[in-house]
């Protein structure tokens, strides 16, 4: 991409957002090639409205939904089935079904939750139906929410941190599947406890809170190393 | 404050705390910083909890763009399989029986929308015409209207105003040939087996995985600018291979194909609503303003032969553009309906 700069005069940069006229920087121009993203009408709408449009046959909304959720569904799906190709097949089937059934679908305030729920049901159903699916492609003969601990920092490769990560990674294997699952939803999917409750077929929010708290507590019990403030102070102001 | 008796674990599981760590907003930052400052004994706990959350990673399948496109293509193809259109000659049948094209068309629209290129309220026209020989997909923009969409093979197109592309329904399967009138920018999906060809007038531009801009509306000449990859441009008599950062100008077959460097902002800015002039002569500016704003410009007076202007406009009104140019170039202008009269002061 750098070579692009050669053909562009660096221009005085004024204002990218507010001005009616601007002098974009070279970097802006370099981005032309790849950045096709901007604000748009659908992005500003609440999920409920996007979903409604999709159900009313608005295909722009359909592809918008695909566009926004494909990546997170891939990661989520791979928690149930390890093979990438199978995960993609399931996501494909899910979208085909959504498209076919659009008029029968119910309202939702969270498209992400709706898709995750549908994908989970679909994958678990497929697994019980076809025994060939199960053992090989999955670990723990069920699904596996895999969380790891690492600190991505190039400057500090401290022995104590390495040790801490190793301990945590060992500790997390000792958690129950449900404990790992709630950690996944809570920290990586930004779902509310009410949504997590439905995804996990749990009775109430309180018991989920306890499940989460115990999981975190358990992890921290294994690790008695206090993270030195000196090392992690920088995190706060990134 | 409820945080008074918080332990590290309490922080780690607190929804607001997690949000601050994962997706910080200015107001969150203010809250937590002032909380830490007024409660130094909590500082270490907060740092500890924050580091804990940040060091957690979820493992799993991280798709790349080829996964993204492959699944999308399959979704499109599989809806087609179920009800293959037999003959579609009107908009009505198009809407009723061909889910694949519906998806394709809307997909194109969706991309235009999601990429924010639609600056006007109109939607661009997607029509399917029963040609005598084969079915063509035509996409056309009115003047002042710009759009952005992808083709069945995943290639992306930015279509400028008053421009039109067409391609066969077999595009992506049997060929990748695009007919262009006007101006478009292409970002071509890689496919070694099917060359991507843009036919504009008598010029053929062939590409593998690449991105380039074709402009046929520069008066009597055509200009093809390459951004990345490589392209081969063919006229009736000549053929050149172009490197990134170079453009090809074709005026006539006799003059041949001329290769030179270009200013990226000037050539590609239109995709992002940017109108850029780089030492542009008056006639060039006049022609571009006429196209961009769909107006007619009438000039009174004679021109200084050294007249040239450099400037950048982003989503600006015609008045704004004229105001700014006239400020430095000292002319007066008036706009009436779609006619602009420019009175040069160099008399």
pLDDT digits (tens, 9 = 90+) for B11-21: 999 999 999 88
Taking the alpha carbons at both ends of chain A, their separation in whole angstroms is 27
Predicted pLDDT of residue A151: 67
Q: CA B141, CA A90: separation in Å to the nearest integer?
A: 37
> Measured between CB atoms, does A211 come within 8 Å of chain B?
no
Summarize the confidence of residues B56-63 as an average pLDDT. Answer: 86
Say if residue B306's pLDDT is above 60: yes
pLDDT at B177 over 80: yes
Dihedral through CA A112, CA A118, CA A122, CA A123, nearest 10?
30
Q: Does the beta-carbon distance from B314 to A22 stay under 8 Å?
A: yes
Closest CA to A76 of A109, A115, A125: A115
Q: Is B122 on the interface with A (CB under 8 A)?
A: no
Determine whether the interchain pair B265/A151 forms a contact, defined as Cβ–Cβ distance below 8 Å: no
Q: What is the pLDDT of residue B209?
A: 66
Q: How far is B137 from chain A (nearest CA, A)?
A: 18
| pLDDT for A157 | 55
| The pLDDT value given to residue B346 | 54
DSSP string for residues in chain A: -GGGGGGS-------SSS-SS----HHHHHHTTT------HHHHS-HHHHHHHHHTT-HHHHHHHHHHHHHHHHHHHTTT---HHHHHHHHHHHHHHHHHHGGGPPP-S-HHHHHHHHHHHHHHHHHHH-HHHHHHH-STTS----EEE----SS---HHHHHHHHHHHHHHHTS-HHHHHHHHHHHHS---HHHHHHHTT-S-HHHHHHHHHHHHHHHHHH--PPPPHHHHGGGGG-
Domain total for chain B? Answer: 3
Q: φ, ψ for residue B52 (rounded to 5)?
A: -60, -50
What pLDDT does residue A230 have?
A: 42
pLDDT given at position A115: 95
Tell me, yes or no, whether B168 and B309 share the same domain. Answer: no
pLDDT at residue A138 tops 60:
no
Whole-angstrom Cα distance, residue A233 to residue A32? 37
Q: Does B228 touch chain A (CB under 8 A)?
A: yes
Judge whether residue B313 has pLDDT over 50: yes
DSSP string, B252-291: -TTT-EEEEE--HHHHHGGGGTEEEEEEE-HHHHHHHHHH
Averaged pLDDT, B204-225: 83
Residue A229, pLDDT above cutoff 60: no
Residue with the bigger pLDDT between B134 and B23: it is: B23
CA distance B216 to B248: 12
The ipTM value here is 0.73
pLDDT of residue B123 exceeding 70, the answer is no
Q: Does A133 touch chain B (CB under 8 A)?
A: no
Confidence class for position A227, pLDDT limits 50, 70, 90: low
pLDDT for res A69: 92
CB contact under 8 A, A62 and B187: no
- Tell me the average pLDDT of chain B: 78
The larger pLDDT score, comparing residue B300 to residue A23, is at B300
Return d(Cα B231, Cα B250) in angstroms, integer: 15
B344 has pLDDT over 70: yes
What pLDDT, in 10s, does the model give residues A44-76?
788 999 999 888 877 778 888 998 899 999 999
For A165-218, the pLDDT digits (tens) are: 788 888 888 888 899 999 999 999 988 899 999 999 888 889 999 999 999 998
Indicate which of B58, B100, B315 best probes the interface with A, i.e. most A CBs within 10 Å of its own CB: B58
Among the three residues B218, B242, B265, which one is the final residue of a domain in this structure?
B265
Q: Which residues of B touch A167 (CB under 8 A)?
A: none
B244, B280: one domain: no
Q: Element (H or E) spanning B132, and its range?
A: none
pLDDT at A146 over 90: no
B57:A99 CB<8 A: no
B292 and B228 assigned to the same domain: no
Are residues B51 and B80 both part of a single domain? no
Contacts of A117 by beta carbon, 8 Å cutoff, 6+ apart: A198, A199
B259 shares a domain with B312: no
Q: Tell if the CB–CB gap between B55 and A168 is shorter than 8 Å.
A: yes
Report CB contact under 8 Å: A3, B245.
yes
> For a pLDDT cut of 90, what percent of chain B falls above it?
15
What is the per-residue pLDDT for B225?
A: 92
Kindly tell me if the per-residue pLDDT of B326 is higher than 80.
Answer: yes
Identify whether residues B225 and B313 lie together within a single domain.
no
CA distance A157 to B131: 67
Please tell me the distance from the alpha carbon of residue A233 to that of residue B47, in angstroms, as a whole number: 7
The predicted-structure confidence for B65-88, as pLDDT tens digits, reads as follows 888 888 988 887 775 433 333 333
- CB-based contact (8 Å) between B30 and chain A? no
Query: CATH number, domain at B214?
Result: 2.60.120.1440
Yes or no: say if B39 and B5 are a contact pair by the CB < 8 Å rule.
no
Final residue before a domain boundary, out of B246, B265, B284? B265
Domain assignment present for residue B60? The answer is no
Largest Cα separation within chain A, whole Å, is 64
Domain encompassing residue B327 = 273-344
Mean pLDDT value across residues B301-313: 84
Strand B176-181 relative to strand B196-200, pairing = parallel
Contacts of A209 in chain B (CB under 8 A): 13
Check whether residue B179 and residue B231 sit in a common domain.
Answer: yes
Query: Pick from B265, B287, B321: which residue ends a domain?
Result: B265
pLDDT of residue B79: 59
Shared domain for B230 and B303, answered yes or no, is no
- CA pair distance B217, B290, nearest whole angstrom: 11
Contact A151, B56 (CB under 8 A): no
Task: Please indicate whether residue A93 or residue A144 has the higher confidence score (pLDDT).
Answer: A93
Q: Is the pLDDT of residue B142 over 60?
A: yes
Task: Tell whether the model's pLDDT for residue A116 goes beyond 80.
Answer: yes
- Spatial separation of the C-alpha atoms in residues A167 and A165, rounded to whole Å: 5
B82 with B219, same domain?
yes
State how far Cα B109 lies from the chain centre: 12
| Structural domains of chain A in order of their starting residue, each with its CATH number | 2-31 (no CATH), 41-137 (1.10.1740.10), 159-237 (1.10.10)
Which residues on neighbouring strands pair with residue B247, listed in sequence order?
A: B225, B260
What is the Cα–Cα distance from A83 to B60, expressed in whole angstroms? Answer: 10
B55 touches chain A (CB under 8 A): yes
Q: How far apart are CA A150 and CA A60, in angstroms?
A: 39
Pair B90, B221 in one domain: yes
Q: Are residues B253 and B192 in the same domain?
A: yes
Does an H or E element contain B64, and which?
none
Q: Could A66 and B59 be called an inter-chain contact, meaning their C-beta atoms sit closer than 8 Å? A: no
Return the H-helix or E-strand segment holding B53.
Answer: helix B40-55
Mean pLDDT of A1-15: 30
pLDDT score for B153: 86
Highest-scoring range by mean pLDDT, B12-21, B104-113, B115-124, B238-247: B12-21
State how beta strands B156-159 and B147-150 pair: antiparallel
Same-domain check for residues B32 and B116: no
pLDDT for res B228:
83
Q: Between the CA of residue A175 and those of A64, A132, A216, B299, what are the distances in Å?
A: 37, 27, 10, 79
């Amino acid at each position: 991409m750098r070579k692009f700069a050669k053909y562009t005069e660096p221009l005085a940069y004024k204002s990218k957002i507010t001005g009616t006229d601007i002098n974009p920087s070279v970097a802006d121009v370099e981005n032309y090639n790849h950045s096709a993203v901007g604000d748009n009408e659908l992005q500003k709408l609440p999920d409920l409205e996007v979903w409604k449009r999709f159900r009313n046959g608005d295909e722009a909304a359909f592809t918008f939904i695909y566009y926004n959720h494909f990546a997170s569904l891939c990661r989520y799906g791979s928690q149930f089935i390890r093979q990438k190709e199978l995960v993609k097949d399931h996501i494909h089937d899910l979208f085909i079904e959504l498209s076919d059934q659009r008029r029968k679908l119910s309202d939702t305030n969270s498209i992400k939750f709706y898709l995750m729920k549908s994908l989970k049901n679909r994958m678990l159903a497929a697994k019980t139906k076809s025994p060939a699916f199960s053992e090989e492609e999955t670990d723990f003969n069920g699904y596996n929410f895999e969380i790891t601990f690492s600190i991505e920092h190039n400057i500090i490769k401290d022995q104590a941190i390495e040790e801490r990560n190793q301990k945590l990674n060992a500790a997390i294997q000792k958690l129950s599947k449900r404990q790992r699952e709630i950690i996944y939803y809570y920290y990586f999917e930004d779902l509310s406890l009410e949504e997590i409750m439905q995804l996990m077929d749990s009775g109430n929010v309180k018991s989920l809170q306890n499940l989460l708290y115990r999981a975190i507590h358990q992890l921290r019990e294994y690790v008695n190393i206090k993270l030195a403030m000196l090392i992690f102070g920088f995190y706060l102001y990134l | 404050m409820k945080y008074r008796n918080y332990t590290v674990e309490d922080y780690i599981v607190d929804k607001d705390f997690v949000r601050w760590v994962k997706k910080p907003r200015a107001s969150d930052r203010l809250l937590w910083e002032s909380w830490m400052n007024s409660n130094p004994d909590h500082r270490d706990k907060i740092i500890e909890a924050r580091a804990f959350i940040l060091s957690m990673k979820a493992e799993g399948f991280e798709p790349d763009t080829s996964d993204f496109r492959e699944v999308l293509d399959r979704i499109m193809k599989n809806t087609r399989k179920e009800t293959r259109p037999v003959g579609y000659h009107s908009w009505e049948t198009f809407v009723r029986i061909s889910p694949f094209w519906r998806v394709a068309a809307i997909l194109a629209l969706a991309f235009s929308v999601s990429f924010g290129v639609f600056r006007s309220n109109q939607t661009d026209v997607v029509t399917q015409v029963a040609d005598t020989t084969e079915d063509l997909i035509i996409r056309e923009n009115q003047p002042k209207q710009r759009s952005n969409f992808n083709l069945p093979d995943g290639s992306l197109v930015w279509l400028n105003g008053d421009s039109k592309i067409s391609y066969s329904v077999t595009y992506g399967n049997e060929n990748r040939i695009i007919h262009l009138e006007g101006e478009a920018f292409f970002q071509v999906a890689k496919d070694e087996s099917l060359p991507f060809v843009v036919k504009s007038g008598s010029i053929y531009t062939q590409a593998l995985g690449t991105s380039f801009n074709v402009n046929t509306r520069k008066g009597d000449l055509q200009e093809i600018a390459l951004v990345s990859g490589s392209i081969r441009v063919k006229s009736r008599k000549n053929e050149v291979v172009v490197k990134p950062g170079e453009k090809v100008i074709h005026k006539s077959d006799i003059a041949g194909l001329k290769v030179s460097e270009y200013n990226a902002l000037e050539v590609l800015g239109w995709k992002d609503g940017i109108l850029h002039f780089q030492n542009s002569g008056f006639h060039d500016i006049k022609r571009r303003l006429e196209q961009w704003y769909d107006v007619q410009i009438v000039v009174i007076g004679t021109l200084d032969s050294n007249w040239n202007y450099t400037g950048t406009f982003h989503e600006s009104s015609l008045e704004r553009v004229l105001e700014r140019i006239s400020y430095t170039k000292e002319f007066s202008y008036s706009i009436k309906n779609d006619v602009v009269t420019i009175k040069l002061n160099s008399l």
